[in-house]
Amino acid sequence: MLCFGKPPYLECSSKGEKRLSAFYARIRKYGNKSIEELYQAFKIFEDGETGLDWRRAKGKKPLNLHECNSYYSYLWDVYIVENPDLIDLIKSYTGLSDIFGQEGHVCQAYELWRIRCLNI
pLDDT tens for the chain, residues 1 to 120: 999 999 999 999 999 999 999 999 999 999 999 999 999 999 999 998 998 898 888 888 999 999 999 999 999 999 999 999 999 999 999 999 999 999 989 999 999 999 999 987
Degrees to nearest 5, angle at CA 43 with 42 and 45: 145
Which pTM does this prediction carry? 0.93
Q: How many domains does the chain have?
A: 1
| Nearest residue to 21 (alpha-carbon basis) of 119, 92, 98 | 98
Output the pLDDT for position 60.
87
- Residues 20-33 have pLDDT tens digits of 999 999 999 999 99
Which among 89, 84, 85, 108 has a CA at the least distance from the CA of 3?
Answer: 108
pLDDT score, position 58:
87
